[in-house]
Amino acid sequence: MTRRHTTILTVLLVAALGASGCATVSRLNPFKGKESKEVASAGERISIVTDDQKLEVATALKGVDFFLPNPTVIADWPLPGGTAEQSVENVDAAPNLSIAWKRGFGGGSKRGQQITAPPVASGGRVFVMDAEAMVSAIDARTGAQIWRTNLRPTDNKRDKEAFGGGVAFAGGKLYVTSGYRLVAQLDAATGAVGWRTRTEEPIHAPPNVSGGRVMAVSLDNTLLTFDAATGAPGWTYQALSEPARILSGSSPAIAGDTVVASFGSGELVALRTSNGNDLWNEALSRATRTSALSEIRDIPGRPVIYQGDVFAVSHSGVFAATDLRTGQPRWSLPVVGITTPWASGDVVYVVAKDGKVICAARETGLVYWIRDLNAGVSSKKKVGGVFGVGGHTPIKPIWSSPLMANNRLILVGTTGELVALNARTGEVQRRVKLGAPAKMGPIAAGNTIYVATDSAQLIALR
């Protein structure tokens, strides 16, 4: 097994010939694969962001208002992105942003393991998974634990350590993916295991569920599908292999008979949900890169389907809108991101890796405003190198994907803070101390916002 390295993003990178996120060797050989997989052709990468394109507020939009839907109460948040399309416009929840309760749910993030599962909520329960495949059901009102199920394998020496994966709720069942190379179905009422299917590679991303299919992307850039009732494997799609990637994963977005998945190769691919036939493929990649980290083309955030478009942002510096039906690019901006965009009304928001929150016109990509959450924040120093020389790396705070609640953008960060921005202007309206760092975006259900921190603590705000 190759050695794991921690990046300034506090996420791990995996190298082409080896590193895995679960103490096992990842098969990233582009010439190795199952015959049942549909292998994507290795086409030429074409940059869709010009070298001279700059991110700046459009002069014509300064002071211009835009439409936002009215806040709406949603009872449940059953899937990692809220819906199968992974888009929720404007929720009515937690007007006071007061902490109602906190509840620990297992092992937190540390060297060698990371929590990558955002919470989901349904039927008055919140479901979470810690860094070691322990799944818990929490009472949404009180924070009391209802049940806990350990999915860590005990009979497989190959997988002594692992992390990552996630949970999704559908039809009274909870579907779980894990870095321990498994997909499982649990009874949401009791936590009892319905079925368990082993996979060839670890899965570091939560699944999505629609039309009786469970879909998830594995570490080797393969979109896997499973029958929700039996766990039987279905069709698969193999994207391009990639020399390096961020060791986290993205859940595919599903709209009708179309699934859109993003991969570590920087590919955004649309497929038929029924058979995996590819519809279109777009590479969110820039031709010019300035550092080794910029070579990582990964799209770690979830793609979002909204009003006939797909929104996604890549680590290599492309934030793009793509026509869902044709795959034609609508517009693109030079944004380096690891988060999930948020589309609502006339605009779409994205959080860049450097802490800038961008509000852009959904139809044109013109920028309304930019708010730098790290402005004035002193970077911490990571000491390393040889005798302390050459190893001082600045580490800025990392911020999560946004949630829009009551016309505010709610974000959490590695600073241990929750920040609320005015969705129309970007002005900071509120800051709340959480007591622990958090990198996963908040969710909302009922009148409550839920945050899962890196220390495996679930926080409810009302």
Which of 377-381, 407-411, 422-426, 442-446 has the lowest average pLDDT? 377-381
Q: Please, are residues 303 and 262 in contact by the beta-carbon 8 Å criterion?
A: yes
Q: Please, are residues 354 and 364 in contact by the beta-carbon 8 Å criterion?
A: no
Answer yes or no: is pLDDT of 294 > 90. no
Answer with the residue of higher pLDDT: 240 or 381.
240
Q: What's the average model confidence in pLDDT over 336-350?
A: 97
Long-range contacts of 377-386 (CB under 8 A, 24+ apart): 377/415, 382/8
Among the ranges 246-250, 300-304, 394-398, which has the highest mean pLDDT value?
300-304
Answer with the residue of higher pLDDT: 223 or 45.
223
Answer yes or no: is pLDDT of 247 > 70. no
Which of 39-48, 84-93, 244-253, 312-321 has the lowest average pLDDT? 39-48
The pLDDT of residue 296 is: 76
Q: What's the average model confidence in pLDDT over 309-325?
A: 96
Q: What's the average model confidence in pLDDT over 260-265?
A: 93
Q: How far is Cα 448 from Cα 143, in angstroms, rounded to an integer?
A: 12
The pLDDT of residue 159 is: 57
Domain boundary assignment for the chain: 5-28+49-461
The pLDDT of residue 386 is: 45
The pLDDT of residue 35 is: 38
Which of 130-144, 295-309, 320-334 has the lowest average pLDDT? 295-309
Answer with the residue of higher pLDDT: 265 or 208.
208
Which of 148-157, 273-282, 405-414 has the lowest average pLDDT? 148-157
The per-residue pLDDT for range 65-105, each reduced to its tens digit, is 999 999 999 999 999 999 999 999 999 999 999 999 999 99
The per-residue pLDDT for range 300-310, each reduced to its tens digit, is 999 999 999 99
Task: Label residue 376 by pLDDT band (50, 70, 90).
Answer: confident
Answer yes or no: is pLDDT of 166 > 80. yes
Residue with tokens 């777009």: 282
The mean of the pLDDT values for the chain is 85
pTM: 0.86
The pLDDT of residue 94 is: 97
Answer yes or no: is pLDDT of 26 > 60. no
Answer yes or no: is pLDDT of 383 > 70. no
- Name the CATH superfamily housing domain 5-28+49-461: YVTN repeat-like/Quinoprotein amine dehydrogenase (2.130.10.10)
List, in sequence order, every residue forming a beta bridge with 399; answer none if it has no partner: 413
Which residue from 378, 375, 368, 333 is spatially nearest to 354, judged by alpha carbons?
Answer: 375
Show the tokens assigned to 413: 């960060």
The pLDDT of residue 117 is: 92
Answer with the residue of higher pLDDT: 298 or 320.
320
Answer with the residue of higher pLDDT: 328 or 247.
328
Q: Please, are residues 439 and 400 in contact by the beta-carbon 8 Å criterion?
A: yes
Percent of the chain at pLDDT > 90 equals: 71
The pLDDT of residue 393 is: 57
Answer yes or no: is pLDDT of 158 > 90. no
